[in-house]
Structure 1
Amino acid sequence: MQPNQPHTVLITGSTSGIGLAIAHCFARAGHHVMLHGLTDADTSQALLAEFSGYSGRTGFSDADISSEAGCAQLVSETREAIGNPSVLINNAGIQFTAPAHDFPAEKWHQILAINLSAGFFLARDVLPAMRSANWGRIINIASVHGLVASENKAAYCAAKHGLVGLTKVLALENADCNVTANAICPGWVETPLIQPQIEAIAREQQLDMDTARAQLVGAKQPVAKATSPEAIGELALYLCGNFASTITGASLPVDGGWTAQ
């Protein structure tokens, strides 16, 4: 596949937040998109209807990628719906916080399975066709926590650091066949997930919402502003474009200066 042709793009965890924003960015640009997430039939149908106005094909899978078999199912359903993936975006992730000495084993295994192992299994399944076509892009949505640590996030930090390491290996192994692998490492992103934290700060300290948001984000980021999900989508799109063919093995912070400190 040549870079100026429509890509077939598989995006895990793309029913909301960053993943959904990435999906819209690629669909608007004319690419074929495979949506994925654990959701009910009504939600999946509404999502497909939401994407029906775009020119490319759209599919949906609710495969459980916490297992190797679920990852294989997702790749198979993607091939059936939109064709062989030329772009893989590993975005799906879960979170749980607790001190390491109290961290439940079940949560540790779940987080590593979805945040790290799924990325490996999916890449392993799609790489042979990418290599054969002499073109492919793997983009791992890691995190600032793939570069630095925070307390109470042992499993999340371990998984995201692992994802950054996996990205580098994939970049080296596939440099000979025009397949790149990169990690995007967001800091705070303006999604519904951070809203309860902002509201709690506003309530406890009697602040307006904008001040509470700046306080939450500014505690870690010199630029006290959360990134929009669309910005992550546009960066992913750029990494699949004509000018990004020599960007590979990179871990790209989008973190308001968090990791510059």
Structure 2
Amino acid sequence: MGRLQDQVAFVTGAGRGIGRAVAGKLAAEGAHVVATDVDEGAAKQAAQDLGGRALGLGTDVTDPDSVSAALARAQEEFDGIDVLVNNAGWDTAGPFVDSDPADWDRIVQINLYGVLHTCRAVLPHMIGRGRGAVVNIGSDAGRVGSSGEAVYSAAKGGVIAFTKAAAREVARHGVTVNCVSPGPTDTELFSSIGGEDPKLRTALTKAIPLRRLGEPTDLANAVAFLASPEASFVTGQTVSVSGGLTMS
């Protein structure tokens, strides 16, 4: 039996990258996964690949009505939500002084407001049941800053701070809230903001003490631990998964 046997996990941005790896890991641990993504086709494909009772739903985390509809559909299918993983994210890289304010809004809406919308929908349900685990995907950009990602760093810093405050508010109800902060991770998003540049990849690899980029499975393993009963006495924490690039 897995650590999450027969629990229900609601994962945002599960169509690809880290979210897809998280969904796969939680399913391997026995969870029934609700895989959501703004790309409905990718969400449904993820659920199909996971098999079992996995459910794929097109969901826009920037739209609270879309989030509420997805939660209602998940609750129709399952008794309740035991685990919420806020993974959906987006960024575009470049100097802040050259950035487009329209991009600021999209970055903050997806990365920060997306977390607020899902937590606002799911936390009352978890509080009512007296249990639950929330794992937010932050970023080390939000802990130490990242050149070319100023607004993304601000949004992810907000996620980290929100995680701590929410953890304090819901702890007495038996609900934990933690954050996993990736360092440079080999995903489509990383490639889209310059990660395909061999010079950048080489430089980052040399800077990382463990001498490799992160893989989505590295993040998924950390999420699975924080979502599991093994982490029942861990809350309000931010765990960096960065190969040692950032150390507290």
Quote the offset at 1:63 in angstroms: 1.8
1:19 aligns with 2:19: yes
Contact 2:205–2:213 under 8 Å retained in 1: yes
| 1:122 aligned residue (113, 118, 123) | 118
* Structure 1 counterpart of 2:10, one-letter code: L
Q: Work out whether residues 34 and 81 of structure 1, in 8 Å CA contact, stay in contact via their aligned partners in 2.
A: no
C-alpha change, 1:45 and 1:128, in structure 2 (3 Å) is: closer
Letter matched to residue 215 of structure 1: A
Q: Secondary structure at the match of 2:246?
A: helix
The 1:187–1:160 alpha-carbon spacing in structure 2 relative to 1, beyond 3 Å, is same
Q: Tell me, in whole angstroms, the C-alpha distance in 1 between the residues paired with 2:243 and 2:49.
A: 31
2:48: which partner in 1? Answer: 49
Q: Give yes or no for contact 1:6–1:31 (8 Å, CA) kept in 2.
A: yes
Please tell me whether the aligned partners of residues 86 and 130 of structure 1 are also in contact (alpha carbons under 8 angstroms): yes
Cα distance change on mapping 1:74 and 1:92 into 2, 3 Å = same
8 Å Cα contact 1:90-1:119 kept in structure 2: yes
Paired residue secondary structure (2:147)? coil
1:162 is paired with a residue whose SS is helix
Could you tell me whether the CA contact under 8 Å between 1:58 and 1:81 is conserved in 2?
no
Aligned-partner SS, 2:61: coil
The question of 1:217 aligning with 2:217 is answered no
Task: Tell me the distance in 2 between the aligned counterparts of 1:243 and 1:48.
Answer: 26
Q: 1:135 aligns with which of 131, 134, 138?
A: 131
Deviation at 1:199, TM superposition (A): 4.8
Q: Distance in 2 between matches of 1:189 and 1:247?
A: 25
Q: How many angstroms apart in 1 are the aligned matches of 2:95 and 2:126?
A: 41
1:136 CA drift (Å): 0.5
Structure 1: runs of 5+ lacking an equivalent:
203-211
Tell me the CA shift for residue 76 of structure 1: 2.0
CA drift at 1:124: 1.2
User: Does the C-alpha gap of structure 1 residues 23 and 64 become closer, same or farther in structure 2, counting only changes over 3 Å?
Assistant: same
CA gap 1:198/1:63 in 2 versus in 1, 3 angstroms: closer
| TM-score normalised by structure 2 residue count | 0.90
Query: So what's the TM-score if we normalise by structure 1?
Result: 0.86
Q: Is the 8 A contact 2:178 2:238 kept in 1?
A: yes
Q: 1:224 to 1:48 in 2, by over 3 A?
A: same
Maintained 8 Å contact 1:180/1:249: yes
- Unaligned regions of 5+ residues in structure 2, if any? none
| Structure 1 residue 213 displacement after superposition | 4.1
Change (3 A) 1:98 1:78: same
CA contact (8 A) 1:188 1:217 kept: no
1:83 positional shift: 4.1
- Matching residue of 1:248: 235
Tell me the amino acid that sits aligned with residue 221 of structure 2: E
Equivalent residue pairs, number:
245
CA contact (8 A) 2:61 2:117 kept: no
Equivalent residue number for residue 80 of structure 2: 84
Tell me whether 238-247 or 181-190 shows the greater mean CA deviation.
238-247
The percentage of aligned residue pairs carrying the same residue is 30
1:106-146 superposed Cα distances (whole Å, 9 cap, x missing partner): 11111111100110111111111211111100100101112
Contact kept? 2:84, 2:133, Cα under 8 Å:
yes
- Structure 1 or 2, whichever has the larger Rg, is 1
- Secondary structure at the counterpart of residue 259 of structure 1: coil
Aligned partner of residue 247 in structure 1, secondary structure:
coil
Pair 1:162 & 2:177 matched: no
Query: Is 1:214–1:224's contact at 8 Å kept on the other side of the alignment?
Result: no
